[in-house]
């Protein structure tokens, strides 16, 4: 892959640098939101006196550039490629240790006359698929920007079990000029890898949910195939799974679900391919329920490899009057033709299909661009935040990482495993776990998987993996998550169970703790006194660790892929840069193969 990164147009760069939003993307002032509830954008969810923004980073970036009119058809300039390929590999790390996945040589600083330097040093939001010694890692990245293209969908491939990696970018739809990340990856029983994400069509008139395919272990990828395109650019948060058709058990289906922002609310949309991703059938899933508003997101489909049954957990936001939100799980035994709901029968829930959860994190003002978000953070409140409905200014933290409450889920031989992020009574958060031995009819009592350590305050963004080997009598259940300590540093931990989820033993995965990056820097303007910016202005404020990590159980051990800010970058000296000359954390992707566990039968 050529390293011709330095020719992104000045207009696009300045748009990114300043965090500009066109009228259609800026959330209206709180007073206007309250006065005209019917006009509330579908990605705004009323909670605790503010309008929480639930849009993903890829959706926000795509919409910002689309509505600005600054991206044009691919340039014919020599050296500008509209179809990226894999490139250099980072130096190998010590075997069995934390290994950097993304190629750090691709990070760079781009300086333009009259503008602050563009520090392109962010890799976040990971997805992992494993087929024997072949591993594919996908993530969001800021490093590939040219005069006429912007590729946010990064990918790295390993052919030696994760010891070394080759880095590159997923190709767009043929003729298109951009991809926008939100990655999800999977592999079928034939060793074919699939990658799902956000993009645009060749004319930049339709937003796309799109898929790439690799038949050589992830070393090369097809042009993206469009699963669904829409002129309203409403699709967000795609997640995919691959598994056996429930009738043709020797054949694998490819499934994807995503959120669709509609004027009347949010839809849960579903796509199915029975020919390896070549063609797709899409539909709206039946999630309407009168007791709840139509606000939902963060779906994570999963196929039980032993039965072919498809499960779709997702988050359904509770009414404004409730602090609780709810997890629901759709179930299909016929490959997505019909669906039923799992039942929880949780005490106090307005419906037996709802599992109440209490959202974690602190309400934080992430600026006009970033929105109101739940975050973990470090450092002091720098003040100046926008007020909630009671007139109380929300805090603003320069080091902030936004949170989502995406369920973590797996299924094996008809047993369902579910973990989620939950606020606790001390102002921190824990990871809770339940399982259903009968396919979602009955569930165990919640178990806290993270140990109660006084110095560990926050436990967030869990991912869950279960051993799929049918010969394993007591399969390994592994739940990985970020832990923020009382000193505000962060580590990745894995809690493991080999007794069917009755108890868990936790072990640290990261070889060194790290600090959060400065992603919410106040930079007021005459037009916007609440403006904040990310140090890497490709992305919105408070976009730090991404919104999920990934893990797989391989050969009886858990392997984890995450965003990590142990490495530092020094900002160039510039009077236009609010961090001029400062050295601070920046984000890379790290992998740990075969995390040891202390769990015993």
Reduced to 3 states (helix: H, G, I; strand: E, B; else coil), residue 218 is: coil
- Rounded to a whole number of angstroms, the CA Rg of the chain reads 22
**Spatial separation of the C-alpha atoms in residues 163 and 101, rounded to whole Å:** 9
Q: pLDDT band at 127, cuts 50/70/90?
A: very high
Reduced to 3 states (helix: H, G, I; strand: E, B; else coil), residue 102 is: coil
Reported for 37-42, long-range contacts at CB under 8 A and 24+ positions apart, including other chains, are 41/261, 42/261, 42/262, 42/263, 42/264, 42/265, 42/266, 42/295
Per-residue pLDDT at 78: 34
Per-residue pLDDT at 63: 83
Domain encompassing residue 220: 10-595
* Contact predicate 420/409, CB 8 Å: no
Which among 509, 522, 496, 498 has a CA at the least distance from the CA of 562? 509
* Within a domain: 4: no
Where residue 194 sits, what CATH number does that domain have? Answer: 2.120.10.10
Total domains present in the chain: 1
Contacts of 32 (CB under 8 A, 6+ apart): 39
Per-residue pLDDT at 293: 64
Q: How far is CA 160 from the centre of its chain?
A: 26
Beta bridge partners of 150: 145, 178
* Within a domain: 3: no
* Within a domain: 1: no
* Within a domain: 463: yes
Quick: pLDDT tens for 394-442: 999 999 999 999 999 999 999 999 999 999 999 999 999 999 999 999 9
* One-letter-per-residue 3-state SS of 500-546: CCCCCEEEECCCCCECCCCCCEECCCCCCCCCEECCCCCCCCCCCCC
Quick: pLDDT tens for 251-284: 999 999 999 998 888 999 999 999 999 999 999 9
**Spatial separation of the C-alpha atoms in residues 404 and 406, rounded to whole Å:** 6
* Within a domain: 545: yes
Would you say the C-alpha torsion 154, 55, 424, 380 has a positive or negative sign? positive
Q: For all residues of the chain together, what is the average pLDDT?
A: 87
**Spatial separation of the C-alpha atoms in residues 266 and 297, rounded to whole Å:** 8
- Return the residue matching tokens 């079990």: 161
Beta strands in 12-98 (DSSP E): 44-47, 50-53
Which among 448, 455, 536 has a CA at the least distance from the CA of 489? 455
Checking if the pLDDT of 291 tops 70, the result is no
Span 170-184, mean pLDDT? 95
Which among 55, 132, 68 has a CA at the least distance from the CA of 370? 55
Which among 265, 260, 271 has a CA at the least distance from the CA of 295? 265
Reduced to 3 states (helix: H, G, I; strand: E, B; else coil), residue 292 is: coil
Checking if the pLDDT of 600 tops 60, the result is no
* Within a domain: 536: yes
**Spatial separation of the C-alpha atoms in residues 192 and 270, rounded to whole Å:** 21
569: its two tokens: 């970058």
Span of 103-112, 372-381, 494-503 with lowest mean pLDDT = 103-112
335: its two tokens: 């490959």
Question: Which DSSP category does 173 fall into?
Answer: B
Span of 59-73, 215-229, 446-460 with lowest mean pLDDT = 59-73
Checking if the pLDDT of 359 tops 80, the result is yes
Reduced to 3 states (helix: H, G, I; strand: E, B; else coil), residue 15 is: helix
Q: How far is CA 159 from the centre of its chain?
A: 25
* Within a domain: 394: yes
Angle at which helices 10-18 and 57-68 cross, to 10°:
130
- Tell me which H or E stretch contains 244: strand 235-244
Phi, psi of 310 (to 5 degrees): -100, 130
- Tell me which H or E stretch contains 31: helix 30-35
Per-residue pLDDT at 21: 30
Q: What angle do CA 594, 159, 124 make, to 5 degrees?
A: 65
**Spatial separation of the C-alpha atoms in residues 264 and 38, rounded to whole Å:** 9
Contacts of 14 (CB under 8 A, 6+ apart): 112, 115
The DSSP result for 293-318, as a single string, is: -S-EE----EE-TTT--EEEEEEEPP
- Return the residue matching tokens 């849009």: 55
Checking if the pLDDT of 289 tops 70, the result is no
83: its two tokens: 């179809």
408: its two tokens: 């973590």
Per-residue pLDDT at 2: 30
Adjacency order of strands within the sheet including 447-448: 408-412, 415-423, 429-436, 447-448
Whole-prediction pTM value?
A: 0.91
* Within a domain: 523: yes
Quick: pLDDT tens for 206-264: 999 999 999 999 999 999 999 999 988 999 999 999 999 999 989 999 999 999 998 88
* Contact predicate 311/411, CB 8 Å: yes
Per-residue pLDDT at 71: 54
- Tell me which H or E stretch contains 491: strand 490-497
Reduced to 3 states (helix: H, G, I; strand: E, B; else coil), residue 279 is: coil
**Spatial separation of the C-alpha atoms in residues 372 and 294, rounded to whole Å:** 20
pLDDT top residue among 512 and 318: 512
Percent of all residues in the chain with a pLDDT value above 90, rounded to a whole number: 73
**Spatial separation of the C-alpha atoms in residues 69 and 311, rounded to whole Å:** 39
Checking if the pLDDT of 541 tops 80, the result is yes
Beta bridge partners of 329: 313
Per-residue pLDDT at 424: 96
Per-residue pLDDT at 491: 98
286: its two tokens: 């039946």
């Amino acid at each position: 892959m050529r390293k011709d990164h330095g020719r992104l147009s000045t207009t696009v760069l300045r748009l990114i640098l300043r965090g500009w939003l066109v009228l259609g993307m800026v959330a209206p002032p709180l007073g206007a939101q309250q006065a005209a509830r019917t006009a509330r954008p579908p990605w705004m969810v009323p909670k605790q006196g503010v309008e929480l923004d639930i849009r993903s980073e890829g959706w926000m970036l795509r919409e910002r550039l689309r509505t600005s009119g600054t991206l044009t058809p691919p340039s014919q300039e020599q050296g500008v490629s509209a179809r990226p390929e894999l490139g250099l590999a980072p130096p190998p790390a010590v075997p069995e240790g934390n290994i950097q996945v993304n190629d750090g040589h691709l990070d760079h600083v781009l300086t333009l006359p009259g503008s602050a330097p563009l520090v392109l040093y962010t890799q976040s939001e990971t997805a992992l698929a494993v087929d024997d010694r072949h591993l594919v890692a996908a993530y969001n990245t800021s490093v590939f920007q040219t005069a006429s293209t912007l590729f946010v969908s990064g990918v790295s491939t390993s052919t030696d079990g994760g010891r070394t990696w080759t880095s590159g970018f997923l190709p767009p739809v043929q003729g298109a000029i951009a991809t926008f990340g939100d990655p999800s990856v999977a592999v079928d029983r034939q060793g074919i890898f699939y990658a799902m994400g956000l993009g645009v069509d060749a004319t930049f008139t339709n937003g796309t949910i799109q898929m790439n395919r690799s038949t050589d272990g992830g070393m090369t990828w097809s042009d993206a195939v469009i699963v669904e395109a829409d002129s309203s650019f409403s699709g967000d948060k795609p997640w995919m799974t691959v598994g056996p058709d429930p009738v043709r058990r020797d054949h694998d289906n490819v499934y994807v679900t995503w959120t669709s922002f509609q004027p009347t609310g949010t839809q849960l949309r579903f796509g199915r391919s029975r020919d390896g991703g070549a063609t797709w059938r899409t539909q709206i899933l039946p999630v309407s329920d009168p007791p709840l508003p139509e606000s939902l997101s963060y779906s994570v489909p999963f196929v039980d490899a032993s039965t072919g049954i498809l499960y779709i957990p997702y988050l359904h936001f509770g009414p404004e009057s409730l602090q609780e939100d709810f997890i629901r799980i759709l179930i299909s035994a016929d490959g997505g033709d019909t669906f039923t709901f799992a039942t929880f029968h949780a005490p106090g829930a307005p419906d037996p299909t709802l599992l109440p959860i209490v959202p974690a994190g602190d309400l934080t003002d992430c600026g006009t661009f970033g929105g109101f978000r739940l975050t973990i953070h470090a450092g002091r409140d720098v003040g100046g935040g926008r007020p909630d409905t009671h007139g109380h200014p929300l805090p603003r933290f320069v080091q902030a990482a936004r949170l989502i409450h995406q369920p973590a889920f797996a299924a094996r031989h008809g047993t369902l495993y579910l973990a989620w992020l939950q606020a606790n009574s001390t102002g921190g958060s824990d990871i809770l776990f339940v399982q259903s031995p009968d396919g979602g009819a009955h569930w165990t009592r919640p178990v806290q998987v993270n140990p109660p350590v006084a110095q560990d305050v926050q436990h967030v963004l869990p991912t869950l993996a279960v051993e799929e080997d049918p010969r394993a009598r007591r399969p390994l259940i592994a739940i990985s998550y970020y832990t923020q300590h009382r000193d505000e540093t962060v580590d990745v931990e894995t809690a493991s169970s080999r007794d069917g989820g009755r108890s868990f033993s936790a072990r640290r995965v990261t070889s060194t703790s790290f600090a959060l990056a400065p992603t919410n820097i106040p930079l007021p303007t005459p037009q916007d006194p609440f403006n904040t910016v990310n140090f890497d202005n490709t992305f919105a404020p408070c976009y730090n660790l991404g919104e999920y990590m990934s893990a797989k159980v391989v050969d009886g051990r858990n392997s984890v892929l995450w965003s990590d800010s142990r490495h530092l970058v020094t900002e160039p000296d510039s009077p236009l840069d609010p961090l001029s000359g400062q050295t601070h954390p920046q984000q890379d992707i790290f992998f740990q193969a075969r995390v040891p566990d202390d769990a015993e039968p």
